[in-house]
Amino acid sequence: MTADETGSGTPAPAPAGAAGAGSTQGAQDVRPQLGIQTQYVKDLSFENPTGANRSAEAERSPQITVNVQVEARRQSETEFEVVLQITAHAQHEGQPVFLVELSYAGLFTFIGIPQDAMQPALLIECPRLLFPFARRIVADVTRDGGFPPLLLAPIDFMALYRNRQQQAAQAQASDAVGAEARPPEAEPSFVEPAEVVPSIDGGGGGD
């Protein structure tokens, strides 16, 4: 027979400290959360200097250089704006063919994420979530500009982050020799140019 079956109608009292343990357990159950509130085009520019006077060869096979940068800025205690900046510059025989400059941003919420995990989350996971949308915008704007859509190859943001960390460590070690080490930045910031091999859709400027 259990305590509730004695007929007294009064349940057995909880052991001392049980309520406090439950509260502590509830606090420990708060899991790290990374959420995106909104995403948006912050800046977009397309230049087509030759217009209709470009040659067919320049349209089919330009030399394209793509640079990628990531920046993170704190907006509040739990909110960060992450900006993915993409610049695509096309040339043919030294002459400009087109230039795309896109800043695509997202407002992210961080809850319960350890401090040592903040920077990798901001500079790896956040731009990874933004990239497919930015890639589509670049493809659309080049197509609307009269060129075959520029399809950016996937970017390994983890490799870019690690490369940046290595460069920063080497620079700090170099500056520490005979000089005072620079203080760390107040906010996480990451600017990493990257050569990305794009692919050109040979289907032309149509859908």
67 touches 128 (CB < 8 A): no
What's the pLDDT at 23? 45
Judge whether 13 lies within some domain.
no
Judge whether 14 lies within some domain.
no
Judge whether 19 lies within some domain.
no
Q: What is the DSSP letter of 121?
A: I
Please tell me the chain's helix, strand, coil percentages from 3-state DSSP, rounded to the nearest 5.
Answer: 35, 30, 35
What's the pLDDT at 94? 83
Judge whether 66 lies within some domain.
yes
How far is residue 101's CA from residue 104's CA, in Å, rounded to a whole number?
10
Rounded to two decimals, the pTM is 0.68
What's the pLDDT at 126? 95
Q: How many other CB atoms are there within 10 angstroms of residue 13's CB atom?
A: 8
How far is residue 109's CA from residue 144's CA, in Å, rounded to a whole number?
34
Judge whether 21 lies within some domain.
no
Average pLDDT of adjacent 10-residue blocks, the chain of 207 residues: 46 49 50 90 94 67 89 93 96 89 96 88 94 97 91 92 84 66 44 39 38
Judge whether 88 lies within some domain.
yes
Judge whether 7 lies within some domain.
no
CATH of the domain at 150: 3.10.420.10
User: What range does the domain containing 91 cover?
Assistant: 32-177+187-193
Domain count, the chain: 1
What's the pLDDT at 131? 97
